[in-house]
């Protein structure tokens, strides 16, 4: 529970940091080739949240239609379910994956639209729903995807870094913005295919 609270704190921190750094980008976080990694080390628990455009994780962002696209999408899910190929830690830390949660690409804006309209007798809710709906339309055609992984480490003192091997898995990914709450304090870093190691 404590770790979850920390992770939310990181997410908030990341959102603020992004706002300050990328004010000129009208659409904020969604940028092809650019993923986000939130990291929390809390006692023997390590939590990693990965978020990136589906364009990089799957290869396309629309709902899979052809059999080929469906197979490609299924493959991307399988890859996200194997974080051993995405991240590497010092084996001496003895970190074991204890939980994972996938965040699939959002594909269906129309459903939300209908749902909002079912409630338009409530004026306040209709107003805020309309606002959200507008936002969805701005983002139409784009989808983010990701996963959250929780590890329990037998020797957390040996957990002093992470290697983002996922650049080898996702060739179009160029940059990973990292926000972390670590035993050494709060950190922000940027990883790339040629500098894919974070130490703390
Ligand atoms: Zn996109």
Does a structural domain hold residue 123? no
Does a structural domain hold residue 127? no
Q: Provide the number of structural domains found in the chain.
A: 1
Does a structural domain hold residue 24? no
CA 60–ligand 1 middle distance (angstroms): 8
Does a structural domain hold residue 114? no
Residues facing residue 52 across a β-bridge: 145
CA 155–ligand 1 middle distance (angstroms): 39
CA 98–ligand 1 middle distance (angstroms): 31
CA 129–ligand 1 middle distance (angstroms): 23
Pure H helices in the chain: 2-21, 54-57, 67-80, 109-118, 123-138, 166-169
CA 121–ligand 1 middle distance (angstroms): 34
Does a structural domain hold residue 135? no
Q: What's the whole-model pTM score?
A: 0.73
CA 42–ligand 1 middle distance (angstroms): 33
Inform me whether the pLDDT recorded for 58 exceeds 60: yes
Q: Is the Cα torsion angle 48, 78, 109, 69 positive or negative in sign?
A: positive
Give the separation between CA 54 and CA 52, rounded to whole angstroms: 6
Half-sphere exposure of 181 (CA within 13 A, CB side): 19
**Residue 72 pLDDT grade (very low, low, confident, very high; cuts 50, 70, 90):** very high
CA 189–ligand 1 middle distance (angstroms): 23
**Cβ-Cβ contacts under 8 Å for 61 (sequence gap 6 or more):** 53, 54, 55, 105, 141, 142, 143
pLDDT averaged over the chain?
A: 80
CA 4–ligand 1 middle distance (angstroms): 28
Note the pLDDT tens digit of each residue in 109-160.
444 444 444 444 444 444 444 444 444 444 457 899 999 999 999 999 999 9
Does a structural domain hold residue 61? yes
Note the pLDDT tens digit of each residue in 3-25.
666 666 666 555 554 444 443 33
The residue segments making up the domain with residue 82 are 2-18+30-107+143-199
Does a structural domain hold residue 124? no
Angle of CA points 51, 197, 13, to nearest 5° = 45
CA 57–ligand 1 middle distance (angstroms): 11
Does a structural domain hold residue 98? yes
């Amino acid at each position: 529970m404590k770790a979850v609270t920390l992770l939310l704190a990181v997410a908030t921190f990341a959102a603020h940091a992004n706002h300050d750094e990328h004010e000129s980008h009208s659409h904020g976080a969604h940028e092809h080739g650019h993923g986000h990694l939130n990291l929390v080390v809390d006692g023997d628990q390590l939590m990693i949240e990965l978020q990136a455009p589906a364009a990089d994780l799957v290869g396309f962002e629309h709902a899979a239609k052809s059999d080929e696209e469906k197979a490609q999408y299924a493959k991307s899910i399988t890859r996200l379910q194997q974080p051993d190929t995405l991240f590497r830690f010092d084996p001496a830390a003895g970190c074991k994956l204890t939980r994972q949660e996938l965040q699939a690409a959002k594909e269906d804006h129309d459903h939300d639209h209908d749902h909002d309209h079912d409630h338009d007798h409530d004026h306040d809710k209709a107003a805020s729903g309309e606002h959200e709906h507008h936002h969805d339309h701005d983002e139409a055609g784009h989808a983010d995807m990701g996963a959250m992984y929780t590890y329990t480490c037998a020797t957390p003192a040996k957990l002093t870094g992470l290697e983002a091997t996922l650049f080898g898995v996702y060739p179009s990914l160029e940059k990973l913005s990292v926000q972390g709450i670590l035993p050494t304090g709060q950190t922000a870093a940027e990883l790339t295919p040629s500098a894919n190691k974070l130490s703390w």
